[in-house]
Structure 1
């Protein structure tokens, strides 16, 4: 993919589908901006290179065109002097220089065309970079609001009828202690009930012994 395609695609592509899958979409937008900035820096270097190429080829074309004119002057002078061989040679050189000058001029024009295209691309890319940078700031602010809202909904402190995480922790601890206390009370009650049964049984046994003794005494009296 060419540099121009990368810049164009980045400028026009929707990144929402990619961002939906990311844990930190704001971080990814920063990477997009860095990629675009790298492309812009590369394009600026290419622009300078093409400007330099255009200047060099234009200078070569001008220098060669000047040599062609000099050859034309020599050919005319030779013709005036009746030196046809020298005139022919000078005319041939003139044609060769003119061909080279045209070639350099064509290369300079191609470089100028690339310069013009790069300038347009750079302008568009810089505008897009500014827009995306502002968009990233907006996304970052929106992400912070979401996180802040989540923190408010799950606070450490209590707010209104909602208990904070600290208060809920204390509530859970109190519930556990209440369970322990209830368990202890049940255990104590069972022990007390058992002790009570033992005392009652002893009392009944004593009463039975008393009654037996009374019966024995009564039998002795009848005898």
Structure 2
């Protein structure tokens, strides 16, 4: 092994030893709980935003559907008055409103799925938070018992600190306390994202869809006049 490798290993070993001497298991479990509580708060905010998104999308879908119905009545009136050009423009608007209504309805459905998923995760997270709070009390009691020993030697566990998952952090702290307990016993003493832009569509004024819609309206008027 080269001198540089030996120096690097010695530096890492010294760093791990220093971290283990500074690390207080009870304090760290408290930090894990604060991290988890912050995550729960973020999840609750996200859930509120998704619920608002559902409400907005449903309202816009209903408004667009109503506008489509109104446009059809206006187009029929234009046809009755002999204004086919005007009816064509209104029929194109009706198609766009129907497209918008469909898009907003799809957005509302997607947002509802996200709401359901967030609700499940939030409930699971809250249950885990309560479980870990109880676990922390247990670990704190065990740590106090060990610290009453006159010859307490903290183990040198050369592993990095994991702040990402509260549950994993608790497991690590419990492992440390178990090692303290074992050491004390040997020495003879005790120790966890509105609605998007509506579909505008291509210009439908001269499209086949508009022509089809106009023909349907003409047929509707013809059958009504019979």
Q: Which residue of 1 aligns with 2:193?
A: none
CA deviation vs aligned residue, 1:5-41 (integer Å, no higher than 9, x gap): xxxxxxxxxxxxxxx9464111111100000000000
CA deviation vs aligned residue, 1:95-119 (integer Å, no higher than 9, x gap): 0111111112222222222111111
Structure 1 distance, partners of 2:69, 2:142, is 70
Q: Which residue of 1 aligns with 2:50?
A: 50
Q: Which residue of 2 aligns with 1:92?
A: 92
TM superposition score normalised by structure 2: 0.55
Structure 2 distance, partners of 1:28, 1:76, is 72
Q: Which residue of 2 aligns with 1:66?
A: 66
Paired residue total: 133
Q: Which has the higher helix share?
A: 1
Q: After the TM superposition, which segments of 4 or more aligned residues of structure 1 sit over 6 Å from their partners? A: none
TM superposition score normalised by structure 1: 0.55
Greater RCO, 1 or 2 (C-alpha within 8 Å, sep 6+)? 2
Q: Alignment partner of 1:87: what SS?
A: helix
Gaps of 5+ in 2: 1-18, 153-226
Structure 2 distance, partners of 1:68, 1:53, is 22
Larger Rg: 1
Q: Does 1:25 align with 2:22?
A: no
Structure 2 distance, partners of 1:152, 1:88, is 92
Gaps of 5+ in 1: 1-19, 154-223
Q: Which residue of 1 aligns with 2:194?
A: none
Q: Which residue of 1 aligns with 2:131?
A: 131
Q: Does 1:141 align with 2:141?
A: yes
Q: In angstroms, what is the RMSD of aligned CA positions?
A: 2.1
